[in-house]
């Protein structure tokens, strides 16, 4: 499956800190927890594994583990 050109995590990485600073009056720890989980999702911070073809053993890439936030929606 190909990765889409833009994901929510890309937006959090690009503008998350500025968004948090502008939102200090109303943002809660729950919001911050979700933003941190999104930022770490599918990165080395959560670990990963080598993909491997079961037929020939070819290892094309590292797949990083998900934060599982998608399972809540």
pLDDT one-digit tens code per residue, 3-38 = 778 888 888 889 989 999 999 999 999 999 989 888
Decide which of 21 and 49 is more confident: 21
**Strand blocks (E) in 5-68:** 48-50, 62-64
pLDDT, tens digit (0-9, with 9 covering 90-100), for 53-73: 888 988 878 777 777 655 554
* 53 lies in some domain: yes
* 44 lies in some domain: yes
* 1 lies in some domain: no
Burial class (CB in 10 A: 0-12, 13-18, 19+), 12: buried
| Alpha-carbon span 54 to 8, nearest angstrom | 32
- If you search the block for the tokens 């968004």, which residue do you land on? 19
* 52 lies in some domain: yes
| Alpha-carbon span 66 to 40, nearest angstrom | 8
* 68 lies in some domain: yes
With a pLDDT cut of 90, the percent of the chain lying above it is: 25
Q: What domain range is 27 assigned to?
A: 8-72
Decide which of 18 and 41 is more confident: 18
* 30 lies in some domain: yes
Number of domains in the chain: 1
* 13 lies in some domain: yes
* 2 lies in some domain: no
């Amino acid at each position: 499956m190909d990765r889409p050109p833009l994901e929510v995590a890309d937006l959090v990485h690009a503008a998350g800190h500025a968004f948090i600073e502008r939102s200090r009056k109303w943002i809660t720890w729950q919001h911050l927890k979700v933003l941190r989980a999104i930022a770490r999702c599918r990165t080395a911070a959560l670990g990963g594994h080598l993909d491997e073809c079961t037929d020939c053993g070819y290892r094309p890439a590292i797949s990083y583990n998900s934060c599982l936030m998608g399972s809540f929606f």
